[in-house]
């Protein structure tokens, strides 16, 4: 029997899907941002592994999941602008942001934008499997590759299931959103090399996979230069996508951090 709770789109925003609908008197919101090509469903299994007083909201970007028929957003400034408007009503309760890979970039830039606008900030920023600005080696612009080469490169990243890669019709459906995400990452990396992004007055917890060949320990530790309130680093078994099969060690650390925040 499948006892997992259904994923509910929040009635007030298509951007946020509530994975813990019906939770009693939450004291803290964990807002999770997806990696490139990912959706809110990535975080659905987390709902039963977190403290009972934590409400889990997962960000659903246009062009995927429940918003599949909407056009993708390939420009980070526009994406952040729309996210600021969508998330502000949910910041009345203490919040924590968690972002994995591209999601870490979005979570960080959202904090930058909220801070510039003198809005409420998350109590904690959790960044996972993402090199700090100016430290990542810039790869070629994947979003500009011809389709065949594009999917070869995606397969090499090891974040897409083989049954998806072998389904040409599904690849046609997924390609626009994945290209948009890769463009967001590429453009952000380019801008961060040219202009150093600002630090934010938010404490950071940094996560990485020990077998992640694309993001080194030095690269994730570089985030210490972008928090005004300090950082801690946590590493777990697994590659770049370690959160998709995270074990007890990961959720134990996550739960302790959340329990201490508020």
Q: Which residues are catalytic?
A: 101
Q: Which residues contact 160 (CB under 8 A, 6 or more apart)?
A: 37, 154
How many whole angstroms separate alpha carbon 9 and alpha carbon 40?
Answer: 10
How many whole angstroms separate alpha carbon 91 and alpha carbon 29?
Answer: 8
Q: How far apart, in Å, are the Cα atoms of 4 and each of 16, 48, 53, 101, 123?
A: 19, 8, 17, 25, 28
Give the neighbor-by-neighbor strand order of the sheet with 95-100: 8-9, 16-18, 54-59, 28-33, 95-100, 124-128, 204-209, 231-236
Where are any strands of DSSP class E within 174-245? 204-209, 231-236
Cβ density class 90-121: b for 16+ within 10 Å, e for less? bbeeebbbbbbbbbbbbbbbbbbbbbeeeeeb
């Amino acid at each position: 029997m499948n006892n997992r709770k259904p994923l509910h789109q929040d009635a007030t925003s298509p951007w946020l899907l509530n994975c813990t609908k019906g939770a009693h008197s939450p004291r803290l919101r964990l807002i999770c941002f997806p990696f490139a090509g990912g959706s809110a469903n990535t975080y659905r299994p987390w709902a039963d592994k977190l403290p009972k007083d934590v409400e889990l909201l997962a960000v659903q970007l246009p062009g995927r999941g429940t918003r599949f028929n909407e056009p993708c957003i390939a420009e980070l400034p526009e994406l952040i602008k729309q996210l600021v408007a969508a998330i502000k009503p949910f910041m009345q309760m203490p919040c924590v942001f968690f972002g994995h890979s591209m999601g870490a970039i979005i979570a960080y830039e959202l904090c930058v934008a909220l801070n510039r606008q003198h809005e409420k900030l998350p109590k904690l920023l959790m960044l996972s499997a993402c090199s700090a600005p100016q430290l990542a080696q810039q790869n070629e612009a994947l979003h500009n590759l011809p389709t065949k080469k594009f999917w070869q490169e995606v397969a090499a990243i090891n974040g897409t299931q083989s049954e998806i890669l072998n389904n040409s019709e599904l690849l046609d459906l997924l390609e626009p959103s994945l290209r948009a995400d890769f463009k967001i990452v590429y453009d952000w990396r380019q801008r961060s090399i040219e202009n150093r992004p600002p630090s934010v007055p938010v404490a950071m917890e940094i996560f990485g996979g020990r077998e992640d060949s694309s993001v080194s320990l030095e690269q994730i530790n570089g985030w210490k230069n972008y928090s005004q309130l300090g950082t801690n680093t946590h590493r777990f078994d697994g590659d770049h996508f370690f959160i998709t099969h995270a074990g007890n060690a990961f959720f134990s650390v996550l739960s302790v951090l959340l329990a201490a925040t508020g």
